[in-house]
Amino acid sequence: MRRYSLSPSPSPGGRFKKEIVVDGQSYLLLIRDEGGPPELQFAAWVDAVVFVFSLEDEISFQTVYNYYLRLCSYRNTMEVPMVLVGTQDAISATNPRVIDDSRARKLSNDLKRCTYYETCATYGLNVERVFQDGMAAE
């Protein structure tokens, strides 16, 4: 199933539901786009974290590590499966890639227990894998 449903949400980012099947077992993921740095309440209830940055935006890349440090201040991140995702939806001749693969993989290693994927939502590249593998790590 590749359907995402948007639920009303007071948060700036939104809330989504996604059903996936892992090893024959169906799971309903409750996904919350925080739209900002993690807060204490978020850190307390989160089962997994997907950090997303744009491959053509240096600031979004640097922000991921700052959000990770903030999460670490609230919770032992060794208890939380994490996925790092670099998106490439807006890369073009006029908007080039600025984050190379080696920098992204280094950040993934720095985040500990973190898998790295590059995705393109426009074409569906690796989008399902992020959810499948993230759930399998849980």
> Of 25-34, 39-48, 89-98, which range is least confident?
25-34
Q: Which of 24-33, 48-57, 102-111, 116-125 has the highest mean pLDDT?
A: 102-111
Q: Which residues of 94-118 are buried (b: 16+ CB within 10 A; e: fewer)?
A: eeebebeeeebeebbeebeebbbbb
- Longest Cα pair distance anywhere in the chain, in angstroms? 44
**Average pLDDT rounded to a whole number, residues 29-45:** 83
Model pLDDT for residues 75-115, shown as the tens digit of each residue: 998 988 899 999 988 778 888 899 999 999 999 999 988 99
CATH topology of domain 36-134: Rossmann fold (3.40.50)
Q: How many CB atoms lie within 10 A of CB 49?
A: 22
> How far is it, in rounded angstroms, from Cα 86 to Cα 51?
9
> How far is it, in rounded angstroms, from Cα 57 to Cα 71?
22
In this prediction, residue 4 carries a pLDDT of 37
Residue 64 has pLDDT above 60, yes or no: yes
In this prediction, residue 98 carries a pLDDT of 93
